[in-house]
A and B are shown apart, each in its own frame.
Chain A
Amino acid sequence: MNQRSLLAAVAIVVLLLLRAAPAAAEPYLAVMTGYKCNVCHVNPTGGGLRNDFGLTYAKVLLPAETVDNALDSWNGKVTDRLRVGGDLRTDWSRVTTPNSPSAQSFSLEQFRVYADLVILPDRLGIYVDEQIAPDGSQNEEAYVRYGNTTDGFYVKGGQFYLPFGWRLQDQTAFVREVTGINMTTPDKGVEVGWEHSAWSAEFDLTNGAANASTGSGYQVTTQVVYTKPIWRVGIAGSSTSSTAGDRRMGGLFAGLKTGPIAWLAEGDVVHDDSLERTLVAGLLEADWRVLKGHNLKLTAEYEDPDRAVRNNQETRYSFVYEYTPLPFLQLRAGYRHYFGIPQNNQQNQQQTFFELHGYF
């Protein structure tokens, strides 16, 4: 048995072992595999640093071609207690806006590094997610974690992303913009989580973005997800009290695997007291694993920025091809078309992009 076969066999064994426990990954991968977030990520609510299985998946199961020898020893661990990882995304994009010349540029979208220090195995740890570039260093997540994140209760304290709906890679998705909860908007507070069998649940008490400088209220966020091998469903809610105006949100999301296609859906309703408006956003995404290492992502989105105003809805359609030729390297090409009211140029723009994504 050569090393490639051995690695594949180990991965399959790990997969089988972990099927009994809750698991997860990038959302469509989670739906495709039927696992919960904590199967691939250190963070039980997903995203960021990959764990042993996440790295094995990235080395063996995700790419079109595996690489023998060179990566066998890499498991993210600097020491037995310290694990590191990172993501770097750079792209070329072109934006075409009606009545304006097209604009294109190369940009460094993101360079993030993660670290997890295990102080007491399976009980106590410290996690950090730091954005290095662009715009200088900026902390995204930094929290102390106590408890069992695979089966039982745990507590996080510090700064972290809130759990609300699909933790999408595309932070500009309507559902992530309308709710204001995404992987660029961490909050400070405490999270109590529970992982057991097919269930995942979180309860968060945080400052709330509107209270960042005033300290005038709190945000309460909760989410419950039920995961089965080919489908899952989740419900999330959040309420922010603030002198700037209260904000309440509710969301339903679900995933389904049909053959080689993973389907993701989310619908959110947001009510802003200060602006006296109710917003609605929806997402449907289909990810077709054409071949090993190839994924075609189609997304349809809808947003109504104010239910009380007629004729103001927006839609967005995306076509993205993701090619993972080698472990830890992904190439993405995509096209997004926004449709909005004709008198607003920004709401009718088109985006084309090519992205290089390196991760470890």
Chain B
Amino acid sequence: MKLFRTAARGLTGIFCAGFVALLAACAGSGEGLDANGNPIVPGTSTSSPLSADFESIQENIFTPICSVCHAGGSAPEGLRLDAANSYNLLVGVPSTEVPSLMRVKPGDPANSYIIQKLQGIAAVGKQMPDGCPTSQPCLTPTQIGFIQQWIMNGAPPAAASTSAAAQSAPFAVTSIVPDSMESMSASPPQVMVAFNHELDASQLVTHSAHFEKLAPGSTPVVMDQVPAHLAIPGANPRALMIWPARALSAGRYRLVIDAISSSQISDIAGQQVALGAPDERGEAVISTFDVEVLP
């Protein structure tokens, strides 16, 4: 009993001290941090209050809230909402849950699947952010309103990507999802290749693509082929999307571009860039990745 009384007195002291300490605890000053609480790297910009433009939505919503889950090889529905990939995987891209709806349909927020998911009225799946309103707050009507307004305005990309400086830079691939040797937790809905300039869609007719399933081992041995089709989303001509004709089973895959003339692709100004690197047969491999799917 003496031990218990001593323990109770000790707990009382700890509670009192802890309560005082917590009441006195202050929130961080935010000094040296951006709006998401990340340290500011010299030379980069700081974030601003939420507004109806893509940069602001990315900084205030997609990065701090959505990309907690929607990032990397385990991103739900293959939708990565980190700053490098979100625009290209959202705008003009069919949703995987309701393929008849675009994730973002420029000019039409009511028929943009992202709005339905955020409002909790989508035909499939849960309201986003996952767990709202119980385990985390839902986006407020004001926040959703800014996204709706951005879509209503035509869902333009970040101003920096369309600036004169960006346009004068050499034509180049800016990101590939999934990138080489990435491990995916499920069959990717699509492979996305993003560019810094608008693509010349007329060239696409000379290209086709397929996925090759490789046997284990250091020497590439093709076990299976999955046809794919390519498209440049009309709403986002800076991205090339490649969809497999069927879901990819577990294994290692590479995406191979078939070109009638060459594996080069052009922007609207005629600059060319190579799509992928040549494999042992000289075909252009855009990406090699692993799919880990439950049996």
Residues in chain A within 8 A of chain B (CB atoms): 95, 97, 99-101, 103, 105, 107, 109-110, 134-135, 138, 171-172, 176-177, 182-185, 210, 213-216, 228, 230-231, 233, 243-244, 254, 256, 258, 263, 265, 274, 282, 284, 286, 300-302, 305-306, 309-315, 339-347
* Docked-complex contact B135 and A231, CB < 8 angstroms: no
Tell me, in angstroms, the Cα distance from A313 to B27 when the chains sit together: 5
* Docked-complex contact B11 and A256, CB < 8 angstroms: yes
Residues of A within 8 A of B154 (CB): none
* Docked-complex contact A214 and B74, CB < 8 angstroms: yes
Tell me, in angstroms, the Cα distance from A258 to B19 when the chains sit together: 14
The segment from B46-54, B167-175, B197-205 that touches chain A is B46-54
Tell me, in angstroms, the Cα distance from A30 to B52 when the chains sit together: 48
* Docked-complex contact A258 and B28, CB < 8 angstroms: no
Tell me, in angstroms, the Cα distance from A51 to B71 when the chains sit together: 43
Q: How far is the CB of A252 from chain B (nearest CB, A)?
A: 10
Residues in chain B within 8 A of chain A (CB atoms): 4, 7-8, 11-12, 14-15, 18-19, 22-23, 25-39, 46-47, 49-50, 60, 64-65, 72-74, 120, 126-127, 131, 133-137, 140-143, 183, 185-186, 292, 294
* Docked-complex contact B28 and A231, CB < 8 angstroms: no
Residues of B within 8 A of A342 (CB): 29-30
Closest B residue, CB atoms, query A108? B133
Q: How far is the CB of B126 from chain A (nearest CB, A)?
A: 6
Given contacts A214-B185, A254-B14, A312-B28, contact A305 B134 (CB under 8 A): no
Residues of A within 8 A of B73 (CB): 244
Q: How far is the CB of A216 from chain B (nearest CB, A)?
A: 6
Given contacts A315-B25, A339-B27, contact A172 B134 (CB under 8 A): yes
Beyond the given A97-B140, A103-B142, please list 7 additional residue pairs across the A-B interface where CB-CB is below 8 A: A214-B185, A231-B7, A244-B73, A301-B22, A311-B33, A313-B25, A346-B60
Residues of A within 8 A of B22 (CB): 282, 284, 300-302, 315
Query: Interface of chain B, helix or strand or loop or mixed?
Result: loop
What are the 8 tightest A-B residue pairs by CB atom distance, in nearest-first order? A341-B30, A339-B27, A311-B28, A214-B185, A300-B22, A313-B28, A312-B37, A171-B134
A346 interface neighbour in B15, B25, B64, Cβ under 8 Å: B64
Residues of A within 8 A of B15 (CB): 254, 256, 263, 265, 284
Residues of A within 8 A of B143 (CB): 100
Given contacts A109-B133, A341-B33, A346-B64, contact A314 B27 (CB under 8 A): yes
Tell me, in angstroms, the Cα distance from A309 to B29 when the chains sit together: 12
Tell me, in angstroms, the Cα distance from A249 to B50 when the chains sit together: 33
Residues of A within 8 A of B26 (CB): 313, 315, 339
Tell me, in angstroms, the Cα distance from A183 to B135 when the chains sit together: 8
B126 interface neighbour in A135, A210, A230, Cβ under 8 Å: A135
Given contacts A97-B142, A300-B22, A315-B25, contact A306 B30 (CB under 8 A): no
